[in-house]
Structure 1
Amino acid sequence: MVTTRRKVGILFSYSEGWIGGSYYFINLVYALKQLDDDQKPHVVIVSESEAALDIIKQTGYPYLSYIGSRFQYNFVERCINKLSRIVFKKSVIQKDFPAGTIDVLFGYYEQLFRFEKSRKIFWIPDLQDKHYPQYLGADIAASRKAQHEALAYTNSEVLFSSNDSKNDFDTFYPKSICKKYVVQFAVTLPKYSDLPFEEVAAKFGVSQPYFFSPNQFWSHKNHFTVIKAVEILKKKNIEVTVVFTGNEKTGGGAYANELKEYVSKAGLQANCLFLGFIDRKEQLVLMQNAKAIIQPSLFEGWSTVVEDSKCMNKYLILSDLKVHHEQISENVNFFSPTDPDALAVVIADLLNNEITTIPKSYEPNLLTFAKGFLNAINNN
């Protein structure tokens, strides 16, 4: 019988701009439900708004509470800290959560630095700044470099979602002294079977067969390769439909607009459908009924799209990345993400043939996720 549960603070806020990050924390709490009751930690949702707790409550996790993420500093304290950061590179006056509230705080690494006194585990999904800094901008890339160095060369705790990301970190920071964990995340999908495909298809003007590519509209997600593959096929009189979903306002919307302009000029409006950011259940219904899922990304830390597809036992067309090979080895066809001709060949082949997938149980992935995270928070 548990008398005292480990209190784990999770810094969480829901963001359509980085929906993969939001889903990560929701899926983490779902995974923790798989643990035996005496192993389940008490999860404290740390956020600026208590609405974040309401989102997490939908998981049905039994041990939840909330605390605000902002500490209050008076005018004098703010002035002292501003001066001390200039002189000493840190705040002299440091506040913390009330005693006994949180044993360890977990969250996306960029957002954790201001919690200076708490024990923290920093989540680094990937090192995109090292591979594709042009998609981030010079200021963001420089900021991430400084933050990674601050973690690498101090007695910090860092959690990676893949061995690929950890190996990246070790390559760029070979003399790092931080403690590192690799915890590959898994997903829990909301119930969507009660939502008829016909209803969703009619709403969005989708007809079968179609391929599905659900990704946020960041440049490194590489939608252009998919569109060019569709264009190649159309020139060969092979009509293919690809449905894209995701927040088209990401990064100000310029990238999504470029994609749509290309589609319009190429006369592919009937082949490339942009649905925008849609309801999660509607997205899953479209995923379930697609011919196959296309994930063309140039870079990933651990793809939520891949995990969703694995959970559904859907066939995947994946960019040939090390991390994608780490995630899945069956029910998949890999292609070079810079070769639309190669992708066109794969799409045409799957379009004209029956796709059969090898059944795989997904449940063990959830328990592995939960136990990996539990090991990290207990390892101090």
Structure 2
Amino acid sequence: MRIGLRLFYNPGWMGGVNYVLNWARALQSLPAGERPRVTLLAATPAAQKIAEEHAHLGDAIAPFQNTASLGLDFVYPATQLAETPFGAPWAGWIPDWQCRHMPELFSQGEARRRLLQYRLLATHAPVCVVSSQMADADTARVVPEAQAPRHVLPFPAVFASEVYARTPERIAATRARLGAPGRYAIICNQFWRHKNHLLVLEALERVTRDDVHIVMSGALQDDRWPDYADRVRALLAEPRVGQHVTLLGSIARDDQIDLMLGAIGVVQPSRFEGWSTVVEEARALGLPSLLSDFPVHREQSPPASQFFDPDDAATLAARLDAWFAAPPARLSSDAAEARQRDYVVACARRFLAIAAEAKRRYDPAVHDPKPVTAQSLLELRADVTAGRVAADDEALFQAGARGLFREHPEELAGLGGYIGQEAYPLYPSAMTQMMVASLVKMSPEARQRFFDADLSGDAVAHEARASLATPAGKMSLTALSAAAKARDIVRGMLKR
């Protein structure tokens, strides 16, 4: 099987980058006879750099824009319809519905965008993947009309054999260099408010043992609540709390792994996770874990895990006292590696089974970006008219779709062919607007590809393009393009 893994780059969500890379590692873990051919698909220059840095995880690197010519059996993941590939089977991915459970973590526009994009994925994808049973139940509740078959596909943590072979001497040297004590538990989270570090600090104020110690890694910053870091620092300044904490900030990944290997266990106090990476890493390394009692953590439940109420500092304090009085048993490195190897192979086989189903179900006439966009525009127009969706949400979808079609001028030319089809009774003005707005942001070379695209046999698409192909139409596009560039320059200056 030929698999395309779509790499994207979002500095605010490195978990998404690691998610894709971990699936590449998982697929590599399969026996040689089962292992697919993996192409790393780079959607942006930043993603291209990530692909090159991790070229050993795939058999090839290619631009995401070229999927139609690569002969792929499956492309994954699409987190919105604007990320769907041309000419290849694909699956959507809904990590979680945090935007529904904790809307305060998002701007109003971002929360609406996620709700809309996930709803459209659940409706139009050949197959839709969710990371947990909780996300599956949320999808059924939020999108009861969802038509795409859903599969729960938790992702594993995958470590190289080198990690399991790290020596006590190396781990001790890292611990000494970073100022960690001889015995500690570890928290590996960014200091975002919902990660719930304050509960841990309040618990440390109540512990009865002097030797309870927590090492915390992660950037002490949450731009959404600038005062949150000040509250953390204020608690750390209390001698009763500060003596139990080593605060490291952001550290190198190798150092983080060394510290995890040297810990008596992992503490994860978060109030919400789609599927906790650090919990999966605790499972992979054979570490005991103290987890907030939250449905996804219960679902993950690695061996030797205990739970506490995320609002109950006293219970967590008692758990920590008990841990340090009698540290829980942990697996040897060899046993942890063997157990995790079997788990990762099972996850990879599950991935390939979903890929095979997506390939069977994929129908270009239904699931390719052109019909998906056409159908979604139709549905959104009806939703706006009925008051179910705000006009701004429709505009958000169109903006994403324009970004996709700007990379595929020939496909944009063919989009006009859906005007007037019985299955797509689209409003021609909206389709024309979509095409014009896409063309305005294209380079002159890409715009020419739109006009040169072969539309023989598609009279409607040809007619839709004809009005734009006149000298007056092309002059108008040139003028609109210049105006758009000037507007972008002004916006950029205002942001400085």
TM range (shorter): 0.7 to 0.9
The aligned residue for residue 298 of structure 1 is 271
How many residues are matched?
344
Match of 1:132? 102
Structure-to-structure mapping, 1:209-358, within 5 angstroms: 209-233=183-207, 236=208, 238-249=210-221, 251=223, 254=226, 257-267=229-239, 268-328=241-301, 330-357=303-330
Change in Cα spacing, 1:108 to 1:343, as seen in structure 2 (3 Å) is farther
Alignment partner of 2:141: what SS?
Answer: helix
CA drift of 1:108 comes to: 5.1
Contact 1:219 1:255 in 2 (8 A): no
How much has 1:28 moved relative to structure 2?
Answer: 0.9
Equivalences for 1:1-380 in 2 at 5 Å?
6-13=1-8, 17-47=12-42, 48-49=44-45, 50-59=48-57, 61=58, 64-69=59-64, 71=65, 97-107=67-77, 109-110=79-80, 113-115=82-84, 117-118=86-87, 119-190=89-160, 191-192=162-163, 193-194=166-167, 196-233=170-207, 236=208, 238-249=210-221, 251=223, 254=226, 257-267=229-239, 268-328=241-301, 330-357=303-330, 361-379=339-357, 380=360
d(CA) in 2 for partners of 1:255 and 1:204? 27
User: Against the structure 1 CA distance between its residues 259 and 370, is the aligned structure 2 distance closer, same or farther, given a 3 Å change threshold?
Assistant: farther
Whether contact under 8 Å (1:29, 1:56) holds in the other structure is no
Q: Aligned in 2, Cα 1:108/1:296: closer, same or farther, shift over 3 Å?
A: farther
Shift in alpha-carbon separation, 1:155–1:288, aligned structure 2, 3 A: closer
Offset, 1:239: 5.0
Cα 1:29–1:169 change in 2 (3 A) is same
Residues 357-379 of structure 1 show CA distances to partners (whole Å, capped at 9, x for unaligned) of 46662222111110111011111
Give the AA of the match of 1:36.
P
Partner in structure 2 of residue 76 of structure 1: none
- Change over 3 Å in CA distance of 1:296–1:150 after alignment to 2: same
- Extract unaligned runs of 5+ from structure 2: 361-496
Q: Deviations over 1:94-151 (max 9, x none)?
A: xx634234333212504x5244634321222211111111112222111111112212
Identical-residue share of aligned pairs (%): 25
Against the structure 1 CA distance between its residues 163 and 252, is the aligned structure 2 distance closer, same or farther, given a 3 Å change threshold? closer
For 1:114 and 1:329, how far apart are their aligned partners in 2?
33
Q: Structure 1: which 5+ runs fail to align?
A: 1-5, 72-95
User: Deviations along 1:227-253, whole A, 9 cap, x unmatched?
Assistant: 1111222xx574532111123456478
CA distance in 1, matches of 2:40, 2:15: 18
Shift of 1:13: 3.9
Tell me: CA distance 1:320–1:135, structure 2 relative to 1, closer, same or farther (3 Å). Answer: same
1:271 Cα offset (Å)? 2.5
Partner of 1:74: none
Larger % of helix: which? Answer: 2
State the partner residue of 2:428.
none
Matched-pair contact (CA < 8 Å) for 1:217–1:255: no
Letter in 2 for 1:375: A
C-alpha separation in 2, matches of 1:275 and 1:150: 41
Contact 2:290–2:308 (8 Å) recurs in 1? yes
Q: Deviations over 1:192-230 (max 9, x none)?
A: 415712221122111122110001232221111111111
Q: Which amino acid aligns with 2:69?
A: A
Please identify runs of 4+ aligned residues in structure 1 that moved more than 6 A: none
CA contact (8 A) 2:74 2:90 kept: yes
- Give, as a single letter, the amino acid of the residue that structure 1 aligns with 2:15: G
Corresponding residue SS for 1:347: helix
